[in-house]
Amino acid sequence: MSSSLYGGASGRRVTVRDLAAAKERGEKWPMLTAYDAMTARVFDEAGIPVLLVGDSAAMVVYGYDSTLPVSVDDLLPLTAAVVRGSSRALVVADLPFGSYQASPAQALESAARFMKEAGAHAVKLEGGRRVLPQVEALVSAGVPVMAHLGLTPQSVNAFGGYRVQGRGQAGDELMADAKDLQQAGAFAVVLECVPADLAERVTTSLAIPTIGIGAGAGTDAQVLVWQDLMGLTPKPAKFVKAYSDLGAEMGRAVRSFAAEVTSGAFPAPEHAYS
């Protein structure tokens, strides 16, 4: 088992309380994205305690070049599939661009759809002090909220590209955002593409877990997009470590299948019915 968080004797799902307890124990944990039932099952059985149905689905599932185009309607069926495919992990639904920024009421309406229609256990949204009213409304309604600071991809057009955030003065702003999000009731905060020393200072300053992606080794947890981890992404960011070469492996398998169809070697008699 990769984490004592997961695999507690009960067989129940991981909860936000379990994540708080892991921080108390100083225990680090992994999080992965998932977008379908079969990969969710593999990651769940491998002991990943938290699965994120990321709006990165816009890019890795739907083929867009940013996360901006996807809607709640696009992500709901993927979230439902991940919940059905898993039995132990906490499933977090990423609120997509335009589904929460307008108002606390809009955020609650979107979060409620992910929880009622897909069975998500928590939601994630991007931003600091500008989304505090949304975080407070969700928490008041009993919705666990994961925050996300640093490189928040829904703001890519404001940033002028996918760039490291929180250097210099901006680091103090990020620290203040993180503390305010904790105060508003967020149960965890993702720190994406920020200097490692800043991520470590935020982690020691907060009681809630921090989850790093491109934020160094000092956070309480680490998250990656699963296609990056598996070596399916053609040009991954610097923070990615590929633990497999699935792109090449799938290419080999498909070429073998194609060659055997062409030659007549597949299907053999054992693959046919009499």
Ligand X SMILES: CC(C)C(=O)C(=O)O
Binding site as annotated, residues for 3-methyl-2-oxobutanoate? 55-56, 94, 124
Residues 126-165 interacting with ligand MHF (rule: CB under 6 A): 151, 153, 162-164
Is 208 one of the binding residues for ligand MHF (CB under 6 A)?
A: no
Is 232 one of the binding residues for ligand MHF (CB under 6 A)?
A: no
Q: At what angle do helices 169-184 and 196-205 cross, to 10 degrees?
A: 30
User: What phi, psi does 147 have (nearest 5°)?
Assistant: -95, 170
Residues 47-86 interacting with Mg ion (rule: CB under 5 A): 54-55
Q: Rounded to whole angstroms, how far apart are CA atoms 162 and 181?
A: 23
Judged by beta carbon distances under 5 to 8 A according to partner kind, the member of ligand X, Mg ion, ligand MHF, none in contact with residue 33 is: ligand X
Q: Which residues are annotated as a binding site for Mg(2+)?
A: 55, 94, 126
Binding mask 128-157 for Mg ion (x = CB under 5 A): ------------------------------
Contact stretch for ligand MHF (CB under 6 A) within 13-21, 59-67, 105-113, 196-204:
59-67
Judged by beta carbon distances under 5 to 8 A according to partner kind, the member of ligand X, Mg ion, ligand MHF, none in contact with residue 162 is: ligand MHF
Q: Is 173 a catalytic residue?
A: no
Q: Rounded to whole angstroms, how far apart are CA atoms 183 and 177?
A: 10
Q: Please report the sign of the dihedral spanned by the C-alpha atoms of residue 250, residue 86, residue 220, residue 166.
A: positive
Q: Rounded to whole angstroms, how far apart are CA atoms 176 and 192?
A: 16
Minimum CB distance to Mg ion smaller for 67 or for 251: 67
User: What stretches of 29-150 adopt beta strand conformation (E)?
Assistant: 29-33, 50-53, 90-94, 122-124, 145-150
Q: What is the DSSP letter of 153?
A: G
Is 241 one of the binding residues for ligand MHF (CB under 6 A)?
A: no
Q: How far from 180 is each of 131, 132, 166, 185, 189, CA to CA, in Å?
A: 10, 8, 16, 9, 11
Spell out the residues 6+ positions from residue 68 whose beta carbon is closer than 8 angstroms to its own. 58, 97, 154, 156, 157
Judged by beta carbon distances under 5 to 8 A according to partner kind, the member of ligand MHF, Mg ion, ligand X, none in contact with residue 193 is: ligand MHF
Near ligand MHF by CB under 6 A: residue from 29, 228, 229, 231: 228
Q: Rounded to whole angstroms, how far apart are CA atoms 122 and 143?
A: 6
**Could you list the residues that contact ligand X (CB under 6 A)?**
33, 52, 54-56, 94, 148, 190, 192, 213, 223, 225
Q: Rounded to whole angstroms, how far apart are CA atoms 97 and 75?
A: 11
Minimum CB distance to ligand MHF smaller for 22 or for 232: 232
Minimum CB distance to ligand X smaller for 61 or for 252: 61
Is 192 one of the binding residues for Mg ion (CB under 5 A)?
A: no
Q: Which positions are catalytic?
A: 192
Positions in the binding site for Mg ion (CB under 5 A): 54-55, 94
